[in-house]
């Protein structure tokens, strides 16, 4: 390839016996090479190894245009961008061509005339694959001129040409993306008449501008993305266009918390340049993802709109920033994420969920807190014995001593801005809680213990065994009786 990059004319290109390929053939050949060498073609995509990726690879092998159908935050655009890695590193183009003409097979009037006039001296430049990706968000205001092109009356007047002459055409995004991957996001939002304009481009390569038909066999790999919600709420993909898309591939959310954690760890920013060393217990990471799983089952949330993976990513970033902010204020160089820090994630949750009517009545913040409580219960039950709503007389439970401790010690407070030392001292006061952890999780590392202790407290609140109240500086935990009288007063 390095030798090819020294080629600057069509004659040299022919002498090097360069063979042109269509973009779909490029993608197919390079994918076959990766498959033979067992090289992953879509690195950084997790959870799709046995579902989406095999289907996408089959579509590429079939040289299909592709529609990725799925809810928001399911890596549809990421998959399309990663297809760039399956293109050749460089391709030759006629220098000055608006539509990246292949020197060996020019399709524009400019390209054909240049080759006819200059022959083997036609100047050639090399286009890197990073320049071969075009993306357009489909919105109702997108016009045919934007995508395909329009007649330039000023150019027609200056050149004294009729509007039927190819020289007076101002090319839109699609012709300029010749020999490239062209992505149209949220395809159903595109007006039906604009979708109709894509028919011949996908099938025959013809383009029509202002009624003038121009035979131009464009070489494109189309990738469309769409959200199932749009089919009913905002628009639809017109049937003839859908019929011309070779493969429709359904995407999905991570199927396990472990996969979701891997995605969040990969995508979350500010991991290396924190001014404070923030330790995040594994349980905290799991709880961040569990909130998303609970949201996808919640009666307060419109499940048709989906819960983007970006919710977990931004929530995790806010979680770490909450701990970092506290440590900076306390003049500490290191800190550990606490359960109360999860409240700092609420702004990341409220902006990323679409509420149904019942959710709107509750309020976005209350719904976010409810999701946090549900996630706490789920994680608690996976690590401790179930809390029975009703118990027989004189029947003992593992949590009796913890609950009794709160009967004796009213108004146990956990302040948001406790220093590390103050926080540890306060948590160590609950001796029965220490004993509970020793009984069920003796192997727990020291740094994770306090987070697990707080999980127990929050779960006891969710199961109506303790009460919890938020005040300006933090949280107060009480037994139910004291908690009731505190609310009354």
Q: Look at residue 4 in the predicted model and tell me its pLDDT.
A: 80
CATH number of the domain encompassing residue 91: 3.40.50.300
Token pair for 341:
């820090």
How far is the CA of 376 from the CAs of 74, 282, 289, in angstroms? 25, 14, 11
Q: Residue 200 and residue 244: Cα distance in Å, rounded?
A: 9
Mean pLDDT score of the chain, rounded to an integer?
Answer: 88
Return contacts of 115-123, CB within 8 angstroms, 24+ apart: 115/10, 118/10, 119/10, 119/11, 120/9, 120/10, 120/11, 120/14, 121/9, 121/10, 121/11, 122/9, 122/10, 122/94, 123/8, 123/9, 123/94, 123/95, 123/96
Sort 20 into a burial class: Cβ within 10 Å, 0-12 / 13-18 / 19+: middle
In what helix (H) or strand (E) does residue 137 lie, and over which residues does it extend? strand 133-137
Give the mean pLDDT of 266-272: 79
More confident residue, 376 or 230: 376
Q: Look at the alpha carbons of 292, 328, 337, 478 in this order and tell me if their dihedral is positive or negative.
A: negative
Sole residue written with tokens 């996408």: 56
Which residue among 221, 250, 279 closes a domain? 250
Report whether pLDDT(355) > 60.
Answer: yes
Both 11 and 158 in a single domain?
yes
Q: Residue 318 and residue 268: Cα distance in Å, rounded?
A: 10
Report whether pLDDT(233) > 50.
Answer: no
Give the count of domains, the chain. Answer: 3
Q: Look at residue 216 in the predicted model and tell me its pLDDT.
A: 78
Give the mean pLDDT of 233-257: 85
Both 143 and 206 in a single domain?
yes
CATH number of the domain encompassing residue 408: 1.10.10
Q: Residue 225 and residue 190: Cα distance in Å, rounded?
A: 12
For 170, residues 6+ apart whose C-beta sits below 8 A from its C-beta are: 145, 149, 150, 151, 152, 155
Which residues are registered as beta bridge partners of 466? 479
More confident residue, 20 or 170: 20
Give the mean pLDDT of 296-320: 90
DSSP-assigned letters across all residues of 408-459 = HS--EEEETT--HHHHHHHHHT-HHHHHHHHHH-TT--HHHHHHHHHHHHHH
Both 374 and 451 in a single domain?
no
User: Model's pTM, two decimal places?
Assistant: 0.86
Both 189 and 276 in a single domain?
no
The pLDDT tens digits of the residues spanning 428-447 come to: 999 999 999 999 999 999 99
Q: Please give the share of the chain, as a percent, with pLDDT higher than 70.
A: 89
Give the mean pLDDT of 329-344: 95
DSSP-assigned letters across all residues of 70-124 = --TTSSHHHHHHHGGGGS-SEEEEETT-TT--BTTB--SHHHHHHHHHHGGG-BE
DSSP 187: G
Sole residue written with tokens 């019929």: 243
For 215, residues 6+ apart whose C-beta sits below 8 A from its C-beta are: 205, 206
Q: Residue 61 and residue 28: Cα distance in Å, rounded?
A: 5
Both 331 and 275 in a single domain?
yes
CB atoms within 10 A of CB 358: 12
Both 52 and 176 in a single domain?
yes
Q: Residue 225 and residue 241: Cα distance in Å, rounded?
A: 13
Which residue among 206, 233, 250 closes a domain? 250
Which residues are registered as beta bridge partners of 214? 207
Find the domain containing 436 and state its range.
Answer: 391-489
Both 377 and 455 in a single domain?
no
Both 243 and 266 in a single domain?
no
CATH number of the domain encompassing residue 369: 1.10.8
**Closest by CA position to 138, among listed 129, 130, 147:** 147
The pLDDT tens digits of the residues spanning 60-87 come to: 999 999 999 998 889 999 999 999 999 9
Q: Look at residue 108 in the predicted model and tell me its pLDDT.
A: 87
Q: Look at residue 148 in the predicted model and tell me its pLDDT.
A: 82
The pLDDT tens digits of the residues spanning 121-131 come to: 999 999 999 99
Which residue among 382, 412, 443 closes a domain? 382
**Closest by CA position to 312, among listed 266, 281, 272:** 266
Both 224 and 294 in a single domain?
no
DSSP-assigned letters across all residues of 239-283 = HHHHHH-SEEEE----SSHHHHHHHHHHH-S-SS--SSEEE--HH
pLDDT confidence tier of residue 240, bands split at 50, 70 and 90:
confident
Instruction: Say which range, 2-6, 95-99, 240-244, 337-341, has the weakest mean pLDDT.
Output: 2-6
In what helix (H) or strand (E) does residue 157 lie, and over which residues does it extend? helix 153-159
Both 438 and 294 in a single domain?
no
How far is the CA of 451 from the CAs of 209, 218, 356, in angstroms? 64, 59, 33
Q: Look at residue 156 in the predicted model and tell me its pLDDT.
A: 64
Q: What is the 3-state secondary structure (H, E, C) of 372-401?
A: HHHHHHHHHHCCCCCCCCCCCCCCCCCCHH
Both 30 and 78 in a single domain?
yes
3-state secondary structure of 208: strand
Both 348 and 423 in a single domain?
no
DSSP 478: E
């Amino acid at each position: 390839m390095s030798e090819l990059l020294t080629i600057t004319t069509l004659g040299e290109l022919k002498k090097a016996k360069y063979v042109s390929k269509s973009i779909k053939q490029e993608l197919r050949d390079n994918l076959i090479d990766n498959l033979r060498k067992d090289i992953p073609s879509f690195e950084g995509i997790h959870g799709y190894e046995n579902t989406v990726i095999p289907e996408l690879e089959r579509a590429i092998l079939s040289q299909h245009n592709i529609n990725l159908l799925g809810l928001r935050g399911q890596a549809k655009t990421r998959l399309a961008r990663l297809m760039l890695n399956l293109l050749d590193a460089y391709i030759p183009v006629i220098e000055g061509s608006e539509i990246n003409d292949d020197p060996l097979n020019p399709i524009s009037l400019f390209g054909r005339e240049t080759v006819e006039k200059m022959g083997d001296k036609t100047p050639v430049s090399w286009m890197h694959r990073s320049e071969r990706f075009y993306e357009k968000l489909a919105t109702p205001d997108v016009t045919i001129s934007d995508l395909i092109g329009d007649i330039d009356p000023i150019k027609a007047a200056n050149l004294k040409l009729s509007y039927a002459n190819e020289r007076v055409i101002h090319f839109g995004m699609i012709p300029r993306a010749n020999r490239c991957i062209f992505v149209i996001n949220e395809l159903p939002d595109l007006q039906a008449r604009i979708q109709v304009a894509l028919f011949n481009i996908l099938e025959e390569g013809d383009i029509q501008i202002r009624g003038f038909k121009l035979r131009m066999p464009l070489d494109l790999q189309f990738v469309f993305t769409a959200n199932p919600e749009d089919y009913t709420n905002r628009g639809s993909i017109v049937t003839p266009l859908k019929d011309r898309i070779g493969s429709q591939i359904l995407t999905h959310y991570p199927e396990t918390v472990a996969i979701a954690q891997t995605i969040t760890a990969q995508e979350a920013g500010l991991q290396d340049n924190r001014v404070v060393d923030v330790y995040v217990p594994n349980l905290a990471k799991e709880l961040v993802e569990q909130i998303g799983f609970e949201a996808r089952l919640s009666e307060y949330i419109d499940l048709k709109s989906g819960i983007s993976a970006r919710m977990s990513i931004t929530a995790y970033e806010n979680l770490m920033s909450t701990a970092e902010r506290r440590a900076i204020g306390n003049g500490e160089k290191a800190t550990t994420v606490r359960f109360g820090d999860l409240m700092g994630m609420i702004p990341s949750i409220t902006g990323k969920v679409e509420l149904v009517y019942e959710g709107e009545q509750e309020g976005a913040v209350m719904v976010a807190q409810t999701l946090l409580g549900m996630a706490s219960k789920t994680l608690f039950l996976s690590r401790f014995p179930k809390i029975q709503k009703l118990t027989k007389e004189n029947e003992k439970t593992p949590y009796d001593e913890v609950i009794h401790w709160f009967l004796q010690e009213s108004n146990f407070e956990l302040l948001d801005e406790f220093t590390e030392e103050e926080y540890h001292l306060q948590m160590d006061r609950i001796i029965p809680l220490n004993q509970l952890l020793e009984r069920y999780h003796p192997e727990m590392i020291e740094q994770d213990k306090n987070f697990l202790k707080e999980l127990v407290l929050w779960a006891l609140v969710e199961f109506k065994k303790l009460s919890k109240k938020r005040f300006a500086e933090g949280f107060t935990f009480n037994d139910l009786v004291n908690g009731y009288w505190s609310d009354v007063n």
